[in-house]
Homo-oligomer: A and B are copies of this chain.
Amino acid sequence: MALAGGAAAESSFMATYCVGIDLGGTFIKFGLMGAGYRLVGKTFQLPTPTDRGGQGVVDQMAAGARRALAEAGVDPGDVAGLGIGSPGPLDLAAGVVIATPNIPGMRNLPMRDLLSEAMDLPAVLDNDANVAGFGEWLCGAGGRSGDMVLLTLGTGVGSGIVIDGKVFHGAHGIGAELGHMVLVPDGEICNCGQRGCLERYCSATFMSRAAAAMLGDIGRESLLRDAMSRRGELTAKDVSEARAAGDEFAAAVWDSMTRHLARGCVSIARILDPQRIVLGGGMAAAGEALLEPVRRHFRTMHWCLTDIRTEIVLATLGNDAGVIGAAGVAWQQFAAA
């Protein structure tokens, strides 16, 4: 647009920023997004206050947002808005946190409006897993094109869906909970009250539990037997390390998890047909050791009516996905033309 007029040229150089805030049970993470969805400076975190109720959390958010601006030397007048990723359930339309299992004092908290008033800036509230998905789509493995699904494999399984370049919420704001699609009929009971949820078979929790149960059943030798007898329990890390060290038993547990995950990915491909399924969270640190068997089982289980279209890839943003996505949601709502 070399020939653009003065006003247009000027406005395209006007500095605009959005603050991204990722609320967790232990820390609140902050970042400042500038033009081109680029982070300005580094993200940082402050402890999540647990002794001053919901208002204490909002105060800490405002303090962090001010610090983010101050460190970057950005005037609040150049900020288009703030985006918050929060655990839920949430009332998205009202900007209210209905409850958070891990942070006290957050029942029916109008977080969006409280923060907006504290900062005198517009704010938007969204689900933490949804905004992490949006972050990966915007600046990470999603490549900012095509629909995308993020699965974060940790203690549980979080997820986000991006359709047509926007966070997908469902009709009541409780969709995109892929960790609670039913993978096994009448299977393991889940904390959510359902049975057989994906989260029960594709999480670190599954790894340690399945390994412990299989150790009890089978007489065969395993590196895991030592860890079990030393500590009385196993972690996903034990399983992962034993697998990496060539332990056949640990490899079988790992393979079982990747097979469940691949089956979930087949259903996701049939329903949502995304461009990419992105695997993130602690378990994705295994890298190729996760990706290779998931892709292999996915190929085996996939239908033959078309070739495979959906790619399965690793997340690239790590813990910054939530902050970037939260800022990105604010950008989309308040700064985009």
A289 interface contact, C-beta 8 A = no
A180 touching B303, Cβ below 8 Å: yes
Tell me the chain A residues, 298-322 only, with Cβ under 8 Å from chain B.
Answer: 301-306, 309-310
Name, among A89, A169, A184, A305, the residue most crowded by chain B CB atoms within 10 Å (CB to CB).
Answer: A305
Tell me the chain A residues, 162-196 only, with Cβ under 8 Å from chain B.
Answer: 163, 168-178, 180-185, 190, 192-195
What B residues does A263 contact at CB under 8 A? 182, 185
Tell me the chain A residues, 137-175 only, with Cβ under 8 Å from chain B.
Answer: 146-147, 161, 163, 168-175
A273 interface contact, C-beta 8 A = yes
Contacts A146-B171, A183-B185; A270 near B178 (Cβ below 8 A)? yes
A170 CA / B173 CA spacing, docked (Å): 20
What B residues does A309 contact at CB under 8 A? 171-172, 174
B185 touching A184, Cβ below 8 Å: yes
What B residues does A302 contact at CB under 8 A? 193-194
B306 touching A182, Cβ below 8 Å: no
A14 interface contact, C-beta 8 A = no
A180 CA / B305 CA spacing, docked (Å): 11
What B residues does A266 contact at CB under 8 A? 182, 194
A213 interface contact, C-beta 8 A = no
Which of B169, B174, B181 meets A306, CB within 8 Å? B174
A-side interface mostly = loop
What B residues does A146 contact at CB under 8 A? 171
A4 interface contact, C-beta 8 A = no
What B residues does A43 contact at CB under 8 A? none
Contacts A181-B267, A182-B267; A273 near B192 (Cβ below 8 A)? no
Contacts A303-B180, A305-B89; A170 near B147 (Cβ below 8 A)? yes
A275 interface contact, C-beta 8 A = yes
Inter-chain pairs besides A171-B275, A194-B302, 6 sampled, C-beta below 8 Å = A147-B171, A177-B273, A178-B271, A180-B303, A181-B271, A193-B304
A272 interface contact, C-beta 8 A = yes
Contacts A146-B171, A171-B309, A309-B171; A270 near B180 (Cβ below 8 A)? yes
What B residues does A64 contact at CB under 8 A? none
Contacts A89-B305, A184-B185, A192-B303; A177 near B271 (Cβ below 8 A)? yes
Which of B171, B176, B271 meets A175, CB within 8 Å? B271
What B residues does A271 contact at CB under 8 A? 161, 175-178, 181, 268, 271-272
A306 touching B163, Cβ below 8 Å: no
A280 interface contact, C-beta 8 A = no
A271 CA / B182 CA spacing, docked (Å): 10
A54 interface contact, C-beta 8 A = no
